[in-house]
Structure 1
Amino acid sequence: MEHRHVDAPGLAAPVGYTHAVVAGEGRLVHLAGQIATGPDGHVRGTTLAEQLDVAAGNVVLALAAAGGRAADIVAMQIFVTDLAAYRSARRELGRAWQRHFGRHYPATGLFGVTGLVDEAALIELMAVAVVGAGGAGVTDLDHVQVAAPPGCEAEARRFYGGLLGLAEIAKPEPLRDRGGVWFAVGGRALHVGVEDPFTPAAKAHPALRAGDLEALAARLAAAGAVVRWDDALPGVRRCHTEDPWGNRLELVAAGP
C-alpha cells in the first residue's frame, strides 16, 4: 500500500503541508536533523531560502543512503531561528522546497527556536520516512550472481564457503539440476551459477563487507589468491581479489 495523504475537512486548508499521512507498509527510517552544511562541514547560504535549498538536498542525500526517495517522507519538522523571516520568504522557500521534494508535502510542523547547533544555521529539517511502501519501484536487493564453469561446485564451496566464510544455503529443488551453489551474505544471497561457455567478469563485480578485512586478505593471499589494495575512495579500506575462475570481487572493511 502506498502512502495516503489525508486532509481533514473540519480544519483549515493546508498550504505546503498535509494534515495527516497514512503510511504504507515498509521500513521506518528516522533521519537526523539536517542544516545547510556542505561536504566541508561549513554552513552555506545566508538567507533562509538559500539554506533550505542546501538542507533539503542533505535530507534527500541522507534518505537515498537509506534506500529511500523524497516521496517516502511521511513527516517533517522544520526548525527556524526567525519565524517572521520565514513567513515573509514563503515564495522563495516554496521554490527551494520544490527543487528537492516536488509537490510532495508530508505532515509537517514548523517551530521557532532561539538557535541551532551551528550559529550560522537559520533552518534545520528533521524527517521521518517509510521506505519501500507500494509502488512499482525496486525496494531492496535480493541476491547477486556470479558465473562459473560447469563442475564448479567443489571450488565454489572451498573459496566462498571456506575462504570467505559464507554459509551455504540449499538451492530450491527445481533448480538443483542446473548446478552451482548458493551462499548467504547477511540478509541477502550470493549465487554461483553455471554458465557454458564461461567468461569471467573482469569489471562487473559484487562488493562484500568483511568484519576483519586485514585477516581475510591475509587468508586469501596465503591460499594463493591475488589481493590488490585500493585507496581510491577516501576513508574506505578495501581490496580486490578474484574467485577461482577469475571473477572480480571487491572486499570492503565493515564500518564501525
Structure 2
Amino acid sequence: MHAATTSLAPANSMRGEWTQFAAFLKRPTLPARAPMPRLASLGAVWRLFLLDLAVMGVLLGIAGLVMSTGITVPETALAGIDIGPAVVFAVVVFAPLVEEIAFRGWLSGRPGHVLALIVLLGAGLAAIMLSGSGTIYAALVGGAGLLAALAILFALRRRAAMGWFARFFPVLFWLSTLAFASVHLFNFPAEDMAMALPLVLPQFATGTMLGYLRVHYGLWASVLLHLLHNGAFISLVLLAGSAG
C-alpha cells in the first residue's frame, strides 16, 4: 500500500472549481488524502451546488419539452405520498448519509474505509435476516457491526490508499456513479424501469459531483452537497403540490 497521486491545487473561484471538476471527469485521479474539514472547503461545496442546480435546470427543461409533446413519463415513488416531517427527514438527511457511506465512503481507497463498509454491510444484512426473530437481536447485531466498523476506522486511520485501488480508481469511480444512478430506478414501478432510464440522468450527473467532492474534500462535503440537492428537490415537490 502506498499513497495515491497528489490532489489538484485548491480552487478559489467558481470558474476554477468547475474547471478542476471537468479535468477530474476527463481523467479521474485519486488524491493522496482528502483534507480535514475546514471552513474554506464550504466554498467548494457551494460552487458545486450551483453547478448541480444549473445541470438540474437544464435536465428539467428537457424533460418539460419532452412531456409537452404528449409523452408520458413514469411517476416517482413520492407521487401521491403525503410528505410530512418523517418523509422530509428521510429524503433530506437519512438518505444522503446512508447513500454517501455506501456509494462513496470507500472511494478514498484507504483500507479502513473499505473494511469498515464491508463490516457495516455484513452487519446490516445479518440484522435484516434476524429481524424476524425479534428486533432486539437485529439491534444487537447492528450495534456490534457499528462498533466494529468504528474500531477498524480508528485502528487503520493512518493507512494510505491501497496501490491497486489508485490504479483502478477511474473504473471504480464510474462504477460507483453508475450504481448510484441505477439504484434510483427502484423509485419507479418495476414495469416502468426501462422507460425510467433517462430519468436517472440527474442522479448520474449529481453522482459525478459527489464523487469529486468526496475524494478532494472529504465524505462530509459529499454528504452536504447530497443534502442540499435533496433539499432543493423536496422543496420543488412541496411547491408544486401547494400550487396544485
| TM-score between both structures, scaled by the size of structure 2 | 0.21
Task: Name the structure with the higher strand share.
Answer: 1
In the superposition, the TM-score normalised over structure 1's length comes to 0.20
Larger Rg: 1
Instruction: Write 1 or 2 for the structure with the bigger share of helix.
Output: 2
Between 1 and 2, higher relative CO (CA 8 Å, sep ≥ 6) is seen in 2
